[in-house]
A and B are shown apart, each in its own frame.
Chain A
C-alpha cells in the first residue's frame, strides 16, 4: 500500500473515515485515563437538567418534584375551590443548584398551573390529552405518570396502566424511552422493561414518618402510611431511577441530538416565521417582549362594541 496515496493536498478535505482494522497495542499505554479526565471535567463544570411538569392542579406535581429531589423545590400550592381557573396558561420556572458527593446539578423545574383544569381525565385520555401528547412527543421527551396513585388499588392501577398504554399505542404517541432510539439489543431489553411499566403509578410526599423504627418519606392516612420509596406501595423509585439515576444523560442527549436538531431544521427552513398551528395557546409574554396579539374573540367583541358606540352617536 502506497502511504502517499492518502496524502491530502494542502488545501483539501480531511482524512476519509477510517476503514482500518483495530491496531494491536503491545502493552499498556494509558488511554483509558481519558475517562478519569472526563469525570474531572464534568465535576468541575457541573450538570444541568430542566424538567417540566404538566397536569391538573391538585394532582401533586409540586410535591412530586420536591420528593424527587428531596428538597423544597417548590411551595406546594393549594388551590381553593373558589379561585377562578385562569383562561391563559402561565408557565413558572424555578432554578436551584443541588449538590451530592461533589456533583453539582443545576435543576430547573417549570410548572404549568392552569393546564387541563377544565377537563377530567380520570377514566382515560381525552382528545385534548391525545392532541397535546402527540405534539409534545414530537418536541420533547415525555414521561407520563399516574398521579395520586394512592387512591387506586394495585389491580386498578394495572387496569388503568394497560388502558393508557393501549391509548398511547392507538394514537401512535411515543413516550420516553422511544423505541426508535434503542441503539442495540441491550438498550432494547432494558428499555422494554421500562416501557412495560410506563406510566408509573406514583405517590408524592415530603413528610417523614416513623415506620418500624425507620424514618421514611410517606403519606399518613387513617388506614396506614404509604411509603413513597417502597416498591410494594408505589412506583416512585422506578420513576426516580429512570429520571435521575440511569437515564438523565440519555434524556439530555436525545433532547440535544434529536429534538433540538429537528427544531433547528424547521426553523432554518422557515426563515423567521415560527409555525403556528390550530390550538396555539396564548402564553404570557416575557416582560421585555412585545405585547401579545389580542385573541380573535376579544377583537371581535371590541369591534362590536365600537360599532355600537358609533351607532349611538
Chain B
C-alpha cells in the first residue's frame, strides 16, 4: 500500500536530524512504522548495504573522536595518577597545593592515537576540592563548568551559520568521582556534590587508593556506599544492558560499583615481567591484577565497552535536559494556547510581536505621561499668572482709591484757600474804612481774625 504524500519541491529532509522542536525525538521504531504504514520487504538477492556500518565507521575515523573526562576528588587522592594509568601515558601534570581559597577546574586536552583511531581527550580536574574549611560552595564551580560547556554547545547550535561537524565538543561525557577510602561511609560533601551533578553528567564513583582497605572491609564499604547513594536518590551511571552483546558483562559490572582502584605508572618486577604496581615493604599491589583492585574493570567499562554510550547519554539525555530548561526559561514552549503544537519559529515571532507591542505600549505610556505633565505645568503657570493679575488689579485699585482720597483732600484744601483768600480780601476792605472805633474796631477785627484762625 503506497502512502501518498505531497511534498514541496524545495523542502526535502534526508536524515533524522535534531529539529528545532524542543521535545527530544523518541525513536520508537515500531510505533512509528505502524503509524507511517511501512512494510518490511524481503530482497531477492544481495544488495550490498551491509557495508553501511563500515561506511559510518570510516566517516567517524576521518572525523576523529572526542572524549571529555571530569575528575572530582580531594587534593592528593590520586586523580592524575589514575588518568595516567588508564591511558598508559604520562600526561604533564604537577601536584597542586592544599591552600586554594576556592575550588577551580583545570582542563587539558591531549591527542591520542591508537591504530587508526584519533582521540581528542580532555581531562578536567578539580583543584582544591574539599580543602576549604567551609565546604558549602565546593561543588558549585563544578556545576557551573558543566553548564558552561552545555551553554557553549547550545549557542553554537542556535547560530544561523553554524559548524557543528567541526565543533570541538567540550561537554563532559563522564565524571569520575573519587571517594576517600575511609571505609566508613560517604562524606556529606560527596553526597551533596553527587546529588547536584547526577542530572547533568554521567557519574562513575570510584574508591581511590583502594590498597588502603582490606578486602573484607572493601566489600562492606561498597555495600554501604551504594545503599547510601540509593537511599539519597543519587542517579549514578548504569552500564547499559539493552544490547545482547554487552548486556551480560555490563550487568555484572554494575554489581561491582563503585570500582576500587589503584593507580600507578611505576613498574615493579613481578615474576619475570615488569608490571605497573605499588611496592610496599609487605608486598606489591599490582594495578592490572583483578584480585588486587578493580582497575581493569574500570578501564574495560570506561573505554573499551561504553565510551560511545557515555557520549550518547551526554548528548541525548543530559544536554537535552539542559537545553529544554534553558529554552523554557527563555519563554519558549512546544505547546501553545489551546494545546496546539507550536514551533520555535512561531514562538519567536510571537515573542517578537509581543516585544514590539510592549515597546509601543511603553512609548504610548511615556507620551501620555509627557502630555499630562505639560498640561499640569501649564495649569500651574496659568494659575500663577492669574494670581499675579489679581494682585495687579488689586494694587491698581488701591492706588486709585488713594489718589481719589488725595484729590479730595486737595479739593478741600483749595476750597479752604479760596475761603481764606476771600476772608482776607474782606478784612482788607474793612481795614481801609475810617478809624472811628479803630481801637475797638481793631480789637474787633483782631478778635474776628483770631476767631477765624481758630
Which residue of A21, A99, A252, A274 is within 8 Å of B10 (Cβ)?
Answer: A274
Q: List 15 A-B contacts (CB under 8 A).
A: A7-B107, A10-B148, A14-B149, A21-B111, A25-B114, A31-B119, A34-B307, A38-B57, A39-B54, A50-B14, A90-B4, A98-B49, A244-B51, A272-B349, A283-B7
Known: A25-B114, A95-B38. 7 other contacts (CB 8 A): A13-B152, A15-B107, A33-B303, A34-B307, A38-B60, A91-B6, A95-B3
Q: Tally chain B residues at the interface, Cβ within 8 Å.
A: 104
Flag B83-125 by CB within 8 Å of A: 1 or 0 each. Answer: 0001111111110000000001111111111111101101010
Evaluate contact between A24 and B106: CB separation under 8 angstroms.
Answer: no
- Identify A33's interface contact among B45, B164, B304, CB under 8 A: B304
Most buried by A among B14, B29, B44: B14
Chain B stretch 331-354: residues in CB contact (< 8 A) with chain A? 345, 349
- Establish whether residues A10 and B62, one from each chain, have CB atoms under 8 Å apart when the complex forms: no
A18 to B107, CA, bound (A): 11
Question: In chain B, what residue has the closest Cβ to A251?
Answer: B14
* Contact digits for A269-290, partner B, Cβ 8 Å, 1 yes 0 no: 1011011000001011110000
Q: Are A248 and B55 in contact (CB under 8 A)?
A: yes
Interface residues of B in 1-55 (CB under 8 A from A): 2-17, 27, 29, 33, 36, 38-55
Do residues A40 and B112 form an inter-chain contact, with CB atoms below 8 A?
no
In the assembled complex, A47 has its CB within 8 A of some CB on chain B? yes
Bound complex: CA A105 to CA B55 (Å): 14
The listed residue (B38, B55, B57, B107) touching A106 by CB distance below 8 A is: B38
Contact indicator B148/A244 (Cβ below 8 Å): no
Minimum distance in angstroms from B379 CB to a CB of chain A? 48
One of B7, B13, B88, B308 near A25 (C-beta < 8 A) = B88
Of the candidates A12, A15, A70, the one whose C-beta lies within 8 Å of that of B43 is A70
Instruction: Give the complex CA separation of A58 and B114 in angstroms.
Output: 53
Q: Is the CB of B106 within 8 A of A3?
A: yes
Assess the A6–B106 pair: CB atoms within 8 A.
yes
Q: A100 to B117, Cβ gap below 8 A? A: no
**Which one, B138-146, B182-190, B420-428, is touching chain A?**
B138-146
* Contact A91 B17, beta carbon cutoff 8 Å: no
| Residue numbers in A under 8 Å from B117 (CB-CB) | 31-32, 34-35
B309 within 8 A of A: yes
Closest to A286 in B: B6
Q: Which residues of B contact A43 (CB under 8 A)?
A: 53
Considering the complex of A and B, which 9 residue pairs feature the smallest CB-CB distances, nearest first? A18-B109, A14-B170, A249-B55, A37-B308, A10-B141, A284-B6, A255-B14, A30-B304, A15-B107
Residues of A within 8 A of B (CB): 1, 3-4, 6-15, 17-18, 20-35, 37-48, 50, 52, 68-74, 89-103, 105-106, 110, 139-140, 183, 217, 240-241, 244-250, 252-253, 255-257, 259-261, 264-265, 268-269, 271-272, 274-275, 281, 283-286
Task: Find out whether the CB atom of B43 lies under 8 angstroms from the CB atom of A32.
Answer: no
Known: A23-B91, A37-B307, A261-B162. A8 touches B33 (CB 8 A): no
When the two chains form their complex, are residues B88 and A27 in contact, meaning their CB atoms are under 8 A apart?
Answer: yes
> Given A15-B122, A40-B243, do A3 and B45 touch, yes or no (CB 8 Å)?
no
- Nearest CB of chain A from residue B167's CB, rounded to whole Å: 10
| Interface residue B134 (Cβ < 8 Å from any Cβ of A) | no
Chain A binding surface SS class: mixed
Q: From known contacts A8-B145, A21-B111, A25-B114, infer whether A3 and B50 are also in contact, taking CB-CB under 8 Å.
A: no
- Is A250 in contact with B7, judged by CB distance below 8 angstroms? no
Contacting residues, chain A, for B120 (C-beta < 8 A):
18
**Contact status A32-B116, CB under 8 Å:** yes
A71 near B55 with CB under 8 A, answer no
Nearest-Cβ distance from residue A271 to partner chain B, whole angstroms = 7
User: Contacts of A139 on B, CB cut-off 8 Å?
Assistant: 10, 12
Residues of B within 8 A of A35 (CB): 57, 60-61, 117
Give the chain A neighbours of B104 by CB distance below 8 A. 7, 9-10
CA A47 to CA B57, docked complex, whole Å: 13
Complex Cα distance, B109 from A257, in Å, reads 26
Contact residues in A for B59 (Cβ distance below 8 Å): 249-250, 253
Contact A281 B9 (CB under 8 A): yes
- Which residues does B use to contact A, with CB under 8 Å? 2-17, 27, 29, 33, 36, 38-62, 65, 86-94, 104-117, 119-120, 122, 124, 127, 140-141, 144-145, 148-149, 152, 160-162, 164-165, 168, 170, 242-243, 245-246, 299-300, 303-309, 312, 345, 349
Alpha-carbon separation in the docked complex, A27 to B90 (Å): 12
- Known contacts A13-B152, A35-B57, A284-B6: A96-B48 contact under CB 8 Å: no
The answer to whether B49 and A244 have CB atoms under 8 Å apart is yes
Give the distance in Å from the alpha carbon of A249 to the alpha carbon of B55 in the complex. Answer: 6
Inter-chain contacts of B10 with A (CB < 8 A): 139, 274-275
Chain B residues with Cβ below 8 Å from A284 are: 6
Q: Which of B5, B41, B168, B300 interacts with A71 by CB under 8 Å?
A: B41
- B54 contacts which chain A residues (CB < 8 A)? 39
Are B112 and A96 in contact, with the CB atoms below 8 A? no
**Residues of chain B within 8 A of A92, CB atoms compared:** 2, 4-5
Report the Cα distance A139→B141, complex, angstroms: 45
- CB pair B41–A72 under 8 Å, yes or no, is yes
Contacts of B47 in A (CB 8 A): 68-70, 98, 100, 240, 244
CB distance from B251 to the nearest CB of A (A): 16
Q: Are A95 and B36 in contact (CB under 8 A)?
A: yes
Tell me if B49 and A31 are in contact (CB < 8 A): no
Contact A26 B88 (CB under 8 A): yes
Do A30 and B148 touch (CB < 8 A)?
no
Residue pair B308, A7 in contact (C-beta under 8 Å): no
- Looking at B55, B90, B107, B307, the one whose CB has the most chain A CB atoms below 10 A away is B55
Residues of A within 8 Å of B161, CB to CB, are: 261, 265
Interface contact A265-B13, CB-CB below 8 Å: no
A194 to chain B: closest CB distance in Å? 15
Closest to B51 in A: A245
Q: How far is the CA of A194 from the CA of B104 in the complex (A)?
A: 54
Contact (Cβ within 8 A) B304 A14: no
Closest to A103 in B: B50
Interface centre among A98, A250, A285 (most CB of B within 10 A): A98
Q: Are B110 and A18 in contact (CB under 8 A)?
A: yes
Instruction: Report the Cα distance A146→B124, complex, angstroms.
Output: 56
Q: Which residues of B contact A101 (CB under 8 A)?
A: 50
B349 touches A271 (CB 8 A): yes
Alpha-carbon distance between A45 and B306 when the two chains are bound, in angstroms: 16
Q: A18–B243 Cα gap in the complex (Å)?
A: 35
B429 CB → nearest A CB, Å: 120
Contact partners of A73 in chain B: CB under 8 A: 41
**CA separation between A48 and B306, bound complex, in Å?**
24
Q: Is the CB of A97 within 8 A of B89?
A: no
A34: chain B residues within 8 A (beta carbon): 65, 117, 119, 303, 307-308
The residues of A that contact B86 with a CB separation of less than 8 Å are 29
A40–B349 Cα distance when bound, in Å, is: 42
